[in-house]
Amino acid sequence: MIGNGNVALDVARMLAKHADDLLPTDIPGNVYAGLAASAVTDVHIFGRRGPAQVKFTPIELRELGAVPDVDVIVYEEDFPRDEASEQFLAASNNQVKVMSRTLNGWLTKESSGASRRLHLHFLHSPVEVYGTERVEGMRFERTAPDPANPGGVTGTGEILDYPLQAVYRAVGYRGSPLAEVPFDETLGVIPNDGGRVLDPAAQPVPGLYATGWIKRGPVGLIGHTKSDALETVTRLVEDLGNGLLPEPVEDDADAILSVLSARGISFTEWDGWLVLDAHERALGAADGSPVDRERVKVVPRDEQVGISRSVELVAS
Ligand SMILES: NC(=O)c1ccc[n+]([C@@H]2O[C@H](COP(=O)([O-])OP(=O)(O)OC[C@H]3O[C@@H](n4cnc5c(N)ncnc54)[C@H](OP(=O)(O)O)[C@@H]3O)[C@@H](O)[C@H]2O)c1
């Protein structure tokens, strides 16, 4: 895994976990089968800066240390102990200090003899993925704290090669533009004021709103995304109340259904979702595995809509 953010942690944890430990979740059958066939023994996560510059969050990092039959391994040489690094840490926020304690704690933790290992490497800047027919390894340059730029690193010229069979990238995201919608090329977001999309003259575009990462950039946990959506919808409702939406809006919640149908978009309603929910729970109950399965997720969208709607039709 390349990257030291929560996406890297999520993916690495899933790759390292034994498939059976995922049975109590809603893991779909094909994903379970894929993970159950995995021959993985070691998962490596590489960050280009130091342990005090990770973008993980404390809970997600701690979860990594609690995966059954997986040892977390860190390396002393990846922990800079120079004065500037100590000062950087001392000036960091509490989250970083908590994670630093967790990471340092793993330095002295004895191996439990687990059958899988998760290695965290810091100060490794990616140089090259190598291999002919397929990935055979990856080359990194060791970095060191840059005294001229606190929190930054410089290359040391030392090359480190790791034989690997697969490489996954989790180095953040960049939004992409939509036709006819204003776009900020520098930040990779739709320019907006609290969710109201702004034109190049910084005036609101009537009827156009943005939310999520395209509104504020690729940062934040699920809770942030919810409050962000609430802010945008609040603006929309205000504009509706003030007659600022460009087209007349029917005062009828069902109007959206006719629009979707007219456009040939398949959708389900709340009752249909409840049918799908019951179906997924029934799949879980019928699953022959030794652990209780609350549900088995139906993944293909067509199948989700089909199940919810076909039973609805039969019921009506
Ligand atoms: N459980 C959760 O709640 C959860 C799960 C997943 C994601 N999220 C959130 O979703 C957002 C996005 O997460 P993310 O992990 O995609 O992004 P992220 O937090 O921005 O982390 C990206 C990582 O990639 C590294 N990186 C970027 N360019 C690189 C390069 N050229 N070479 C090597 N490393 C490079 C960055 O290093 P530098 O710092 O050196 O740039 C950083 O460590 C975050 O706010 C995250 O917390 C939350």
**What predicted TM-score, i.e. pTM, was given to this entire model?**
0.89
Task: Inform me whether the pLDDT recorded for 265 exceeds 70.
Answer: yes
The pLDDT value given to residue 37: 97
Q: With bands split at pLDDT 50, 70 and 90, how would you rate the model's confidence at 314?
A: very low
DSSP letters spanning 94-152: HHHHHHHHHHHHHHTPPP---SEEEEEE-SEEEEEEE-SSS--EEEEEEEEE-TTSTT-
User: What type of residue sits at position 282?
Assistant: A
For residues 235 and 127, what is the distance between their CA atoms, to the nearest angstrom? 46
Q: What is the pLDDT of residues 268-286, one digit of tens each?
A: 999 999 999 999 999 999 9
Kindly state the DSSP code that residue 194 receives in the 8-state scheme: T
Task: Inform me whether the pLDDT recorded for 316 exceeds 50.
Answer: no
Helix, strand, coil tally for the chain in percent (to 5): 40, 20, 40
The domain segmentation of the chain, as residue ranges, is 6-163, 175-249, 251-316
Contact 90, 36 (CB under 8 A): no
Higher per-residue confidence, 316 vs 281 = 281
Question: Is the minimum distance from the CB of 47 to ligand 1 under 6 angstroms?
Answer: yes
State the average pLDDT over residues 187-193.
Answer: 97
For residues 134 and 313, what is the distance between their CA atoms, to the nearest angstrom? 49
Span from the CA of 126 to the centroid of ligand 1 (angstroms): 15
Task: Inform me whether the pLDDT recorded for 302 exceeds 70.
Answer: yes
Please report, for residues 50, 60, 70, 217, the alpha-carbon distance to residue 139 in angstroms, rounded to integers and kept in the order given: 18, 27, 25, 30
Task: Inform me whether the pLDDT recorded for 307 exceeds 70.
Answer: yes
The pLDDT value given to residue 249: 66
Q: Tell me the backbone φ, ψ of residue 47, rounded to 5 degrees.
A: -115, 145
Q: Residue 171 is encoded by which pair of tokens? A: 């180095």
Q: Tell me the backbone φ, ψ of residue 189, rounded to 5 degrees.
A: -130, 165
Task: Inform me whether the pLDDT recorded for 7 exceeds 80.
Answer: yes
State the average pLDDT over residues 40-49.
Answer: 98
Question: Is the minimum distance from the CB of 6 to ligand 1 under 6 angstroms?
Answer: yes
Q: Residue 287 is encoded by which pair of tokens? A: 């699953």
Span from the CA of 171 to the centroid of ligand 1 (angstroms): 5
Question: Is the minimum distance from the CB of 48 to ligand 1 under 6 angstroms?
Answer: yes
Q: Tell me the backbone φ, ψ of residue 197, rounded to 5 degrees.
A: -70, 135
Q: With bands split at pLDDT 50, 70 and 90, how would you rate the model's confidence at 315?
A: very low
Which of 1, 6, 213 best tests ligand 1's pocket when mutated (most atoms within 8 Å of CB)? Answer: 6
Share of the chain above pLDDT 90, in %: 84
Name the most confidently modeled range: 31-35, 156-160, 222-226, 255-259. 156-160
6-163 carries CATH number 3.40.50.2300: no
Least confident residue range of 49-53, 140-144, 247-251, 302-306: 247-251
Which of 1, 7, 95, 120 best tests ligand 1's pocket when mutated (most atoms within 8 Å of CB)? Answer: 7
Task: Inform me whether the pLDDT recorded for 305 exceeds 50.
Answer: yes
User: What type of residue sits at position 43?
Assistant: V
Question: Is the minimum distance from the CB of 5 to ligand 1 under 6 angstroms?
Answer: yes
The pLDDT value given to residue 311: 57
Q: What is the pLDDT of residues 60-94, one digit of tens each?
A: 999 999 999 999 999 999 999 999 899 999 999 99
